[in-house]
Amino acid sequence: MSLSLAMSAARLITVPREKAWSAFLDMMGWDALRREEGPRPVLELCVRPLGRRVRAEAAGLEIDPGRRLSWRGQAWGLSVRRDFIFRGAPKGTLVESREKISGWPLLLLRPFISPRAMGQANQAWLEDLARRAA
């Protein structure tokens, strides 16, 4: 038996898509994408109240520069898929973050994981991206 969590958050950022994408790369520390070299996105989960961090390099990466970046990662029996989608909108750029975490360890970690807190963290991340892009 396995458990899975899926979260999605979106925000309109009032800058052109190219500027939002550039701020995203800066925020994530993925300068290598600008040089067309393969970056090494890292999955990092922090399980509270235990305070343990789980890190793993991405196992798969799909990039459509300025429009979408998707990656998969695995660590300690957990699988993660993360998508960042950038769409042009009348007053800027609609940025969407989607995340799906699955694996048997979630059964053990469930008492320590709050989907609501994870959703709030995604919204806070988008707010930070909007501030950096402005």
How far is Cα 93 from Cα 49, in angstroms, rounded to an integer?
36
Q: Tell me, what's the pLDDT at 56? A: 57
At CA 83, angle to CA 80 and CA 89, rounded to 5?
160
- pLDDT score for 44: 55
The per-residue pLDDT for 116 is 80
Q: Alpha-carbon torsion 45, 46, 48, 49, what sign?
A: positive
| pLDDT value of residue 92 | 96
Go through the domains of the chain in sequence order and give each one's CATH number.
3-133 (3.30.530.20)
The predicted structure's pLDDT at residue 129: 95
User: pLDDT digit of tens for each residue in the chain (134 aa)?
Assistant: 568 888 889 999 999 999 999 999 888 876 655 555 555 555 555 544 455 555 555 677 788 989 999 888 777 787 888 899 999 999 999 999 998 888 888 888 777 777 787 788 889 999 999 999 99
Tokens of 126: 């988008």
